[in-house]
Copies of this chain bind each other. A is one copy, B any other.
Amino acid sequence: MERRFFKRKSLQQESKELGFGATDARQKRLLNTDGTYNYKRKGLPFYRTFNIFHFLITAHWIRLWIVIILWYSLVNFVFVGLYYAVGTEGLSGMVYQTQLEKFGEVYFFSAQTLTTVGYGRLNPIGFWASAIASFEALVGLMSFAIITGILYARFAKAPTVLIFSKNAVVAPFTWQGQEVTGLMFRIANAYNTSLMNMKAQITASILDCDTLDASGQPIRRFLSLGLERETITFFPSSWTVVHPIDENSPFYGMTREDFKKAMPELMILMSGFDETFDQNVFIRYSYSIDEIEWGAKFVKIFAFDTEGQATVDLGSLDTFEKREIDSLIPISDA
């Protein structure tokens, strides 16, 4: 194979970002569109990989709520056991008639103590029952302090939602006064919050059809893609991130068929600062080959109405029009 499958010059940007170098071709998508990594970890026992606070902060609200209810019941049962152990005659005000009702009253006394609601019909009158109750109230306050912290940690996290255009497109665009071809996608801030100092980074995972491994498969390389503009200071609404396909690009000179054979996956990291939550935000996204449209241009979503009012139409973020392009190399360069 004499022809070089892609620009070797671009190999200088070869990346070990994901902890592996060139690998074989059979792999699935590495980064899911929700930003999680598509790989399995093994070799560590569960207790080394599990952190209770991390779980409580990241678990779904329903799971958290279940954990809290289970904990609440459990602590109550433990204290019920203690009250029985020191003798329930230490509690005054009980009106039960059956043993089950008695258990219920002790349980509810415990709950009233743990939550510090303390109505007082049920109240501790013996020494040990009083001592346990005063300890239970302390445990209750500590527990709710922890829960307050966990709830705060959860919603103090900026709920940044960047909307990515459904497709990335390979399209002509004007750059430094010339018509060139670019690989581009579009993002928008779903919320009305202020994101500042947005930064884009793209690592492409590409099959190198020139280099075969022991089993005759093309190897997969990880290359950083240069961008027309890496950061923007203001980010009021939308941004089109563009990788210009110039001689530094691994895609330079490819035809549509080359591009398909290369099976590129674009792994994207957007970072920025959320002003409302005073927080750095990171968003990962990925476009696989099926989501990259060859020969297409995004429609404009920014316009001024007749009164000069700027308007952005996020409903058209995904919309593009087909454009004919032949090969990712200028004719003069061929």
Contact = CB atoms under 8 A, between A and B. Distances in A.
Contact of A236 (B26, B39, B130, B146): B39
A130 B116 contact: no
A270 to B, nearest CB: 11
Contacts of A115: 116, 134, 137-138, 140-141
A40 B279 contact: no
Interface in A227-263: 229, 232-240
Say which size band chain A's interface belongs to.
35 or more
A239 B156 contact: no
B316 A43 contact: yes
A181 interface: no
Nearest to A123: B119
Which secondary structure dominates chain A's binding surface? mixed
Interface string A160-199: 0101000000000000000000000000001111101000
A236 to B, nearest CB: 4
Question: Among the interface residues A104, A158, A192, which one has the most CB atoms of the partner chain B within 10 A?
Answer: A192
Contact of A41 (B148, B157, B159, B237): B237
B121 A23 contact: no
A228 B27 CA distance: 26
Interface of A: 16-20, 23-24, 26-28, 30, 37-44, 48-51, 53-54, 57-58, 68-69, 72, 76, 92-93, 95, 101, 104-105, 108, 111-113, 115-125, 127, 130-131, 133-134, 137-138, 140-142, 144-153, 155-159, 161, 163, 190-194, 196, 201, 203, 229, 232-240, 267, 269, 271, 273, 275-280, 282, 284, 301-302, 304, 307-317
Given A27-B304, A278-B280, 11 more contacts: A43-B312, A54-B192, A69-B138, A108-B124, A108-B130, A108-B134, A119-B119, A122-B123, A141-B147, A153-B156, A201-B233
